[in-house]
């Protein structure tokens, strides 16, 4: 009895069927690292990051939750449990008839431990709606009188467990025979709303219809009654039916994306280049790190002095470090810079302001243009690319035609690095660029400070 998800709605460029898959992925562990590395809904970490930020902004997930039950908010659960496909009523009726035929055959010929006593239908199929998301059923079972004594029941149980596939866990083998007898070798997707037992139906207190009664020979066509005979009404413990949250495009301008998306929120901030974006990139590469106040310092042989000052939230300010400890164990080539980001909504454009400062090398070594600085610039360019992508998705969904401009301020860097930093960052962004189309990811407009 979940909500129906509209087909044409998108969040951060993702159709709701993909958003549903992403929410289910997050709900399994509540860990960002697993979310960003899952390939089922996003082809790259950058795309996953844009969706993650959207889920946060719409309050569909709760990263502060400490228990599995609260990783998704009520609004997030409504989408995660929503129905993305609607089937014609005649298809649902056919699936339902097949189910009742299997139940009758199981009761008579399969010697199950439990017999299906009654089947109650409720929801959209009972109401006769033209299309349905799934078939809502409550299947009541009773102990098979053929195995009334404990000895015969235990013997039959062991026989059924031995018939189950070896790859199943023991507790799964206990129910395998019953599930197979009722739902068949492969459970039809329309039977997602079918449950063994009627406790849920009783707590719901909704209209229902008896469609199978073993004591009356099997299939019946009962009258629709206000609620299950054993239901005292809707339980106070049952929350209100979930409603689809407002999915209209948000009118706000997104903040800069949390820079930790590049490292998939790893505790040490290390960036692994694979799946960073859809194209194969050599910069930033191994040895690149995103440092915030939450980064565990014990994993770092060299920590920049500016790191100790704090204030790195990953959004407005982040510390970027390059140190390839394998090829440079003594950190002779290591370096770091601080990056500040800001998004301004101006009348005719969205302006991304980026400021680089606090360049450091170990042991107060002099600044120099080398591989380390190239990778630092690569991290800056990748973060800018992510922010442009996020802004572009929002503009597309709002159907607003605005330019996205970039203001790069390198005045906080040593003089010998200022000019080359702009050149490298701009060059890397242009490598990412596609032909400029209105509100497409476009990195071609730069306003350098």
Specify the pairing of strand 136-143 against strand 131-132: unpaired
**DSSP code for 61:** B
List, in order, residues 6 or more apart from 4 with CB less than 8 Å away.
Answer: 82, 83, 86, 133, 244
Distance of alpha carbon 309 from alpha carbon 304, whole angstroms: 10
Are 318 and 423 in a shared domain? yes
324 to each of 84, 106, 141, 270, how far by Cα in Å? 46, 64, 63, 11
Are 210 and 269 in a shared domain? no
Reported as a pLDDT band with limits 50, 70 and 90, residue 438 is very low
Are 74 and 112 in a shared domain? no
pLDDT, tens only, 247-278: 999 999 999 999 999 999 999 999 998 888 87
How many domains would you assign to the chain?
3
Is the confidence at residue 442, as pLDDT, over 60?
no
CB atoms within 10 A of CB 248: 9
For residue 334, what pLDDT is reported? Answer: 95
Residue 202 lies in a domain: yes
Residue 246 lies in a domain: no
Are 381 and 331 in a shared domain? yes
CB atoms within 10 A of CB 144: 17
Reported as a pLDDT band with limits 50, 70 and 90, residue 151 is very high
pLDDT, tens only, 348-371: 999 999 999 999 999 889 999 999
Distance of alpha carbon 155 from alpha carbon 149, whole angstroms: 10
Q: If you average pLDDT over residues 276-294, what whole number do you get?
A: 87
CA atoms within 13 A on the CB side of 332: 5
Q: If you average pLDDT over residues 274-297, what whole number do you get?
A: 87
Residue 247 lies in a domain: no
Are 202 and 331 in a shared domain? no
Residue 231 lies in a domain: no
208 to each of 101, 193, 228, 339, 401, how far by Cα in Å? 20, 14, 7, 61, 51
- Residue 429's H or E segment, with its range, is helix 415-432
Is the confidence at residue 330, as pLDDT, over 50?
yes
For residue 187, what pLDDT is reported? Answer: 93
Distance of alpha carbon 443 from alpha carbon 403, whole angstroms: 10
- 249 burial (CB, 10 Å; 0-12 / 13-18 / 19+) is middle
Query: Domain residues for 70?
Result: 10-80
Q: If you average pLDDT over residues 393-416, what whole number do you get?
A: 95
pLDDT, tens only, 114-143: 999 999 999 999 999 998 888 999 999 999
Are 347 and 443 in a shared domain? yes
Q: If you average pLDDT over residues 422-441, what whole number do you get?
A: 70
Residue that terminates a domain, selected from 80, 106, 124: 80
Are 43 and 132 in a shared domain? no
pLDDT, tens only, 76-98: 999 998 887 789 999 999 999 99
**DSSP code for 270:** B
Are 92 and 29 in a shared domain? no
- Give me the sign of the Cα torsion angle 327, 330, 334, 338: positive
Are 303 and 429 in a shared domain? yes
Are 331 and 430 in a shared domain? yes
Residue that terminates a domain, selected from 80, 108, 127: 80
Q: If you average pLDDT over residues 371-383, what whole number do you get?
A: 96
| pTM summary value | 0.75
Residue that terminates a domain, selected from 25, 55, 80: 80
In DSSP notation, 83-123 reads B---EEHHHHHHHHHHHHHHHHHHHHHS--SEEEEEEEEES
Residue 421 lies in a domain: yes
* 395 closest CA partner among 288, 225, 258, 252: 252
Are 112 and 64 in a shared domain? no
For residue 429, what pLDDT is reported? Answer: 92
Are 425 and 314 in a shared domain? yes
Reported as a pLDDT band with limits 50, 70 and 90, residue 2 is low
Residue 180, both tokens: 């197979």
Residue 4 lies in a domain: no
Mean pLDDT, the chain, rounded, equals 90
Is the confidence at residue 421, as pLDDT, over 90?
yes
Residue 3 lies in a domain: no
Beta bridge partners, 83, equal 4
Residue 361, both tokens: 């090398």
């Amino acid at each position: 009895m979940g909500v129906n998800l509209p087909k044409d709605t998108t969040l951060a460029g993702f159709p709701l069927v993909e958003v549903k898959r992403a929410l289910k992925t997050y709900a399994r562990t509540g860990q960002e690292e697993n979310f960003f590395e899952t390939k089922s809904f996003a082809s790259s970490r950058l795309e996953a990051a844009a969706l993650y930020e959207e889920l946060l902004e719409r309050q569909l997930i709760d990263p502060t939750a400490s228990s599995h039950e609260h990783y998704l908010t009520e609004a997030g659960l409504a989408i995660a449990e929503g129905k993305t496909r609607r089937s014609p009523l005649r298809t649902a009726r056919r699936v339902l008839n097949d189910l009742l035929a299997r139940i009758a055959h199981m009761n008579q010929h399969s010697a199950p431990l439990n017999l299906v006593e009654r089947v109650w239908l409720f929801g959209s199929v009972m109401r006769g709606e033209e299309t349905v998301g799934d078939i809502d059923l409550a299947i009541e079972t009773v102990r098979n009188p053929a195995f009334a004594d404990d000895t015969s029941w235990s013997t039959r149980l062991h026989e059924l467990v031995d018939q189950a596939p070896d790859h199943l866990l023991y507790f799964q083998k206990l129910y395998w025979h019953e599930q197979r007898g009722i739902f068949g070798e492969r459970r039809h997707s329309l039977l997602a709303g079918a449950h063994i037992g009627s406790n849920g139906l009783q707590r719901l207190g909704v209209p229902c219809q008896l469609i199978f009664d073993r004591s009356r020979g099997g299939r019946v066509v009962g009258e629709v009654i206000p609620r299950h005979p054993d239901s005292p009404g809707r339980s106070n413990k049952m929350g209100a039916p979930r409603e689809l949250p407002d999915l209209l495009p948000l009118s706000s301008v997104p903040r800069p994306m949390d820079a930790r998306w590049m490292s998939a929120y790893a505790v040490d901030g290390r960036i692994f280049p694979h799946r960073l974006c859809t194209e194969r990139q050599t910069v930033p590469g191994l040895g690149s790190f995103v440092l915030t106040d939450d980064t565990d310092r014990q994993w770092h042989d060299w920590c920049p002095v500016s790191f100790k000052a704090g204030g790195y939230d990953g959004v407005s300010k982040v510390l970027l470090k390059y140190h390839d400890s394998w090829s440079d164990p003594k950190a002779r080539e290591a370096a770091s810079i601080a990056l500040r980001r800001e998004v301004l909504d101006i009348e005719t454009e969205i302006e991304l302001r980026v400021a680089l400062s606090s360049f450091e090398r170990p042991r107060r070594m002099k600044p120099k243009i080398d591989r380390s600085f190239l990778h630092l610039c690569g991290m800056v360019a990748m973060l800018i690319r992510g922010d442009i992508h996020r802004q572009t998705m929002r503009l597309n969904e709002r159907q607003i035609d605005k330019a996205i401009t970039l203001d790069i301020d390198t005045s906080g860097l040593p003089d010998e690095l200022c000019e080359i930093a702009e050149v490298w960052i701009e060059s890397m962004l242009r490598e990412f660029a596609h032909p400029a189309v209105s509100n497409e990811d476009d990195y071609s407009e730069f306003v350098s400070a």
